[in-house]
Amino acid sequence: MGSPITRLNLDDYIRKIPDFPKKGVLFYDITSILTAPAAFSYCIETMADIYKNREINAIAAIEARGFLFAAPFALRMGIPLVLIRKKGKLPGKTVSKKYSLEYAEAEIEIHPHDVPQGKQVLLMDDLIATGGTLNAARELITGCGGIIPEIFGIVGLPFLNYEKQLAPTPIRTLIQYQSE
């Protein structure tokens, strides 16, 4: 069965792929966590342990890998899951937000009626890089009446300065990489 997963060896379950999606970028692929049930369980159980005594009324996650961690966490905690999707993927009434990526522009959207008014919504994504997508998501949720007490990610890349983009909201990750 092997040794238990710890914060120190979670790195062993994250595949590093050089030159993806473009030359010079080192891609941190969390899909390899999903192929290791012990590592996946470690992530969900650690999240549950971190937030068990916090007032979190819902979790909002960004498409698509953020959903994979947020859904079992929401179920484990007994809280609603709010989906943040790419423009054009949600039916019915939505609100959207455009934001800039390193090399393009993108847009995300949310169902405004899914956001609990005046309640604490934990915002999460699988990996926090520059913070652009999470910043747009935070603006969507707060614009719909939710309160973001904290942002959570499995992986953080602080060398890309996401703290500046996401200030003053506290940010927590399970693992951080200090440089590429």
Q: Out of 7, 54, 102, 180, pick the active-site residue.
A: 102
* DSSP-derived secondary structure letter, 20: -
Active site residue 102: yes
Q: Out of 65, 85, 109, 138, pick the active-site residue.
A: 65
Beta bridge partners of 86: 108
**CA dist., res. 110 & res. 108, Å (int):** 7
Q: How many CB atoms lie within 10 A of CB 5?
A: 21
- Which residue in the block uniquely carries the two structure tokens 């949600």? 90
Active site residue 138: no
Phi, psi of 2 (to 5 degrees): 90, 175
> How many CA atoms within 13 Å lie on the side-chain side of 94?
18
Return the active site residues.
65, 102
